[in-house]
Amino acid sequence: MPGTSGLIYEVTLVIERDIVEPFDSWLANHIEEMLAIPGFLKANVFALEDDEQGRGRRVTQYYLESENHLEQYFAGQAEQMRQAGIDRFGDQFSASRRVLRQSDIAGGYVHAIEKCLNCGTALSGQYCGNCGQRARSRLISMWELLSDAFGDLFELDSRIWRTVVPLLLRPGKLTYEYLQGRRACFMPPFRTYIVLSILFFLVLLFDPKEEFGIFFEPEADVPEEEAEDGKTSSEIRDEVLDELEAEGLIPPRKENTDEPEANEDEESPDKKGLQISIDSDDDDDGDEEDSVEAPEDCSQESMGDLELPDFLARRLTPERLEAVCKKVSADSGKAVGEKLKDNIPAALFFLLPLMALILKILYPLSKRYYVEHLLFVVHFHAFFFLMLILQMLFSNVGDWLSFNEDLVQLILVVTSFYVPVYLYKAMRRVYGQRHLATIPKFLGLLVSYFAGLMTIFAITGILAAFSL
């Protein structure tokens, strides 16, 4: 084969997303036809990154033997070859052409379509159609690594913002668009739900003053307020109590009497005025000492005979209930509260299919599949997590910057009322029914949500208590 003259005929193609694969197959045959033309020696095909509209881009470079052969092509076969592509794909692709010398190309293209380095399959795009590995094999820089990780956060046209903004401000839009088949512009529904739920619990459990206490100044001890005469509030309180005790309006305090505590219940004949006591039942002899704070009674006798189904009675034995009661009472239920908080994500996740079933029952004539109702619930829960995240962040910022507390509470209340309004508007948009048909279903869904939440949290609390 004679050497090339360095003359390159380059064709850049922009292809609509829907026809990329059939176009690549056609392009391979088209190149073979071009190489059959006299003077065309070889061809290289490159794939560029998709453009902003998601369209594929291909570059074909034909190496020619001389400029005369290129002129003969333009005069003869060029129009016929171009028309072949138009007849097949119409206006679903566009082509631009230029002629250049080989010395004009610096470095070439990095996305050459050759073979996948992972599985060896011939490449027809920036990803392998067999294993999915990217065509690029070079090492990326640190900047590109950070750009891949956080680039979408700072791009206004990224899928993150195209998902979060309508999720917050346009009720039902994401569900409606997804059901209409317009999905590529938004994050997948379950991914959105999972990301926002994780962010919610990170914000809920994160306390910057506790995690990064070294960066905050320690709070100074607030001195006890002093009256104008220099006395502290505790001193004033003691003086008032001493005066009431001297007048006989209250019984002597422990620190002011040497009598044993056992005689406190006996009323002295010389005492006058108000007596503060806690009486026992009328049938008592008066011999038992009264106590204001009785300890928690976790004995089996105090629990009484619980009538439970057999499968529960075998598990909730009196001994087991007594042990759980003592564990819960030991720290006033704090451990159970922590366990419950840890299990809330799983509890809310189990609520998703239940609420989808309720929607299926509320809309029996909608001809929608169960999974479509589930999609609606997933998007609504994602919105709910997003609202809670914004509310907690606003509340924390207001606390750190010392905003007016009443104003902060007012904004939190107003945004809380937005949640049921959002749900109603989303139901109207997705299911397309009038107000008279939507209102009773909306109220039924709210009641079901409340009952479902109470049931799920009760079960979660019981499981948390028995897992201590």
Q: How far, in Å, CA of 51 to CA of 56, rounded? A: 7
Please state, in angstroms and rounded to a whole number, the distance separating the CA atoms of residues 468 and 459. Answer: 15
Helix (H) or strand (E) holding 349: helix 334-362
Cα torsion angle, 252, 254, 258, 263, sign = positive
The tokens for 466 are 């028995």
Count of Cβ atoms closer than 10 Å to residue 447 Cβ: 11
List phi, psi (to 5°) of 341. -60, -40
Q: How far is CA 108 from CA 41, 102, 262, 413, in A?
A: 19, 10, 99, 60
Cα angle: 341, vertex 347, 351; to 5 degrees:
145
Give the position of tokens 């390159």. 8
Q: What is the pLDDT of residue 123?
A: 62
- Cα 36 from Cα 42, distance rounded (Å): 10
pLDDT, tens digit, for every residue of 97-124? 888 765 554 444 434 445 666 776 666 5
Q: What is residue 44's three-state secondary structure?
A: strand
Residue 457 has a pLDDT of 79
Return the pLDDT at 306: 59
CB-CB contact of 217 with 209 (8 Å): no
pTM: 0.52
Residues 6 or more apart whose Cβ sits within 8 Å of residue 390: 415
**DSSP letters for 236-270:** HHHHHHHHHHHTTSSPPPGGG--S-GGGGGSPPTT
**Alpha carbons 85 and 53: distance in angstroms, whole number:** 22
Helix (H, G, I), strand (E, B) or coil at 213: helix
Q: Cα angle at 273 between 268 and 278, to 5 degrees?
A: 70
Number of Cβ within a 10 Å radius of residue 193: 23
Please name the fold of domain 7-104: Alpha-Beta Plaits (3.30.70)
444 vs 91: CA distance, rounded Å: 51
CA distance 360 to 371: 9
CA angle 188, 194, 200 (to 5 degrees): 130
**What tokens does 398 get?**
């207001």
Query: Residue 329 contacts by C-beta under 8 Å, 6 or more apart in sequence?
Result: 296, 298
Residue 394: φ, ψ to 5° = -65, -40
Which has the closest alpha carbon to 37: 70, 86, 61?
70
pLDDT of residue 302: 55
Q: Digits of tens for pLDDT over the chain (468 positions)?
A: 445 556 888 899 999 888 988 898 899 889 988 898 988 888 888 888 888 778 889 999 888 888 888 888 888 888 888 888 888 888 888 888 888 765 554 444 434 445 666 776 666 556 676 777 766 555 556 666 566 655 555 555 577 888 999 999 999 999 999 998 888 788 889 989 988 888 888 887 776 666 555 555 565 554 555 445 555 666 777 777 777 677 666 666 655 555 554 444 444 444 444 444 434 444 444 444 444 343 455 665 555 555 666 666 666 677 777 777 777 777 666 776 776 766 677 777 888 999 999 999 999 988 899 999 999 999 999 999 999 999 989 888 888 887 888 888 999 999 999 999 999 999 999 999 999 999 999 999 999 999 988 888 788 777 776 666
User: If you search the block for the tokens 């006798």, which residue do you land on?
Assistant: 301
The Cα 60–Cα 439 span in angstroms is 60
Q: Where are the domains of the chain?
A: 7-104, 159-211+309-468
What is the structure's pLDDT at 103?
A: 53
3-state secondary structure of 454: helix
Residues 6+ apart with CB under 8 A from 188: none
